[in-house]
Amino acid sequence: FTPPVKKGEDPFRTDNLPENLGYHLKMKDGVVYVYPNEAAVSKDEPKPLPYPNLDTFLDDMNFLLALIAQGPV
């Protein structure tokens, strides 16, 4: 939930954003992999996260779309 903007508040302020952590992203077969730095990208060593394969992602997305089409989720 994001509350509505208060009077006088700048909705586009950026001083409250976290610092740049230097992560790099690379897409392989439709799945985005997260790398800690540029060197890890060149070595193809992504962070150890639970990456789905494309088939799993598509199955999950189709399930969500079917739920949404049936009414409020």
Q: What is the tens place of the pLDDT at every residue in 10-64? A: 989 888 888 999 999 999 988 899 999 999 999 999 999 999 888 888 999 999 9
**38/46 Cα distance (integer angstroms):** 10
Six-digit token string for 69 = 């089409």
**19/58 Cα distance (integer angstroms):** 32
Find where tokens 């739920």 sit: 67
Confirm whether pTM is higher than 0.85: no
pLDDT at res. 42: 97
pLDDT at res. 71: 83
Domain ranges of the chain: 24-70
